[in-house]
Structure 1
Amino acid sequence: MAAEVLGRTAALALEELYVSEREGSDSTGDGTQKQPFKTVLKALMTAGKEPFPTIYVDSQKENERWAIISKSQMKNCKKLWHREQMKSDAKEKREAEDLQRREKNLEEAKKVVIRKDPTLPEPTCVKIGALEAYRGQRVKIFGWVHRLRRQGKTLMFLVLRDGTGFLQCVLADELCQCYNGVVLSTESTVAVYGTLNLVPEGKQAPGGHELSCDYWELVGLAPAGGADNLLNEASEVEVQLNNRHMMLRGENMAKVFKVRSAVLQAFRAHFCANGYCEVS
């Protein structure tokens, strides 16, 4: 019964819609006399289908507030509406195809299983900041995915951070085709295994080396979109303050705090060397 009443009310409400270029708003308006739309196109899109309700617009006469839209104006607006409908239908079709393609890729990725190679030497678990002494050796690194770049279906580059530095990792073939490789996002926690090599001549990477991975594990998956889903350079100050813990993970903020730490340590060392006692 309630649904029937709502349906009748909606039908009555759409028998006429009001549009005012002077007082209307497409964002807050609802098509009534008190809250008219700003454009006729918005009114037609609200109606959704033909036959359209009667559209009232600003009257050109002094003693009249509303007037029925002219046939020529309605004809032009209908053309715009049909064009928008075609765009909307094409967009929905694209999104449906993309979703179907992604679901298919995820199902195929679930069939790919990666395993450790038992013939390889046992890796040494090392912090990124101490890796220089382990070049040419097989190591194991825990860290967060700071950056992620996919190059086709068979190559993926990760930049990891663990608080001591950054490391570029190269994953190829099945390592990036498995399910975890497909859904991996920035700020996820991973453990990577591989041989630490110098970067090729002419190339650059943090520390001057990169990890050629032979195996990896997903420790914790971050929400889709990673940090960029929460904030970016264009985010408002309030958003940045609410996500300060994420801001501090960025390279620029980290450098600021490292310089600040070094300055504070220098002051403390100077005063301690001269017999001062810190009171906090």
Structure 2
Amino acid sequence: MNSDKGVNQGVAPVTYGQGDRAPRGNYSRARADYTCEQDFSQYTEQDHDTYRRLYARQLQQLPGLACHEFIDAVSQLGAPERIPRFDDISERLQRATGWQVVGVPGLIPEEAFFALLAERKFPVTDWMRKPEEFDYVVEPDVFHDLFGHVPLLFNPVFANYMQAYGRGGLKASRLDACELLARLYWYTVEFGLIATPEGLRAYGAGILSSAGELHYAVTSPEPNRVAFGLQRLMRSLYRIDSFQGSYFVIDSFEQLFNATAPDFTPLYAAVRQQTTVGVGTVLDGERVFGPGPDPR
């Protein structure tokens, strides 16, 4: 876990894992903002079956490991037997928090990603992984994006955080600070933990949509679980090829939103004056959380 092999130096969250590979989706149907209509006709019965089995597996793991805000909202995705229609989810999201789901053919450029979030539009890849990719898919697919990300957009505070992140991303692009902001996304939106009265729970999409990382992140004695700190988090490298060596723990979504509301310009300057922190490192004096009980 502490090897530098596979350590990400701060690649933008919408392009992580792509490297030099050609994008997987069909980008010829994308609009200027990279959105596209959900191609529902592309889904085969095998695709729907893969979605159903993934949904059932992850749903079974949630009790005692996922935050209650996620568990309470996951049913808003609709019936789990088939891949949902984005328009149906958007109708419910609009009523709840003013967000909508928009289709994209795959990974999109960072500025396009930030611009959509700033408009309260969450981009969801519309293709489904193959059965042989059941346990691991290199690029985010429709299951990861829908199951992992969308439920918390029904939470008003987290929904506001995501919009603020998008607005901050547009500014970070002008300040050459996307590397630092990517670490914020990675350690909160994708791999965040939250302290609750019942114990540690996951809220990050990369954890909640993973077959193995949900139990690992919350209950394993191996990783470090460090109290959330904005500068500390932006200094921290992360892994893209295995479970995380460290997770950051927030006390509430309100804490997350309030910490990231101010202007980041002076923060970026301060972080650049400090050394980066390696994967799995704990610094002196940091508040560290122990693992939670395994509910199995």
TM-score relative to the length of structure 2: 0.20
Structure having the larger proportion of residues in strand: 1
TM-score relative to the length of structure 1: 0.21
If asked which structure has higher relative contact order (CA below 8 Å, sep 6+), I would say 2
> In terms of Rg, which structure is larger?
1
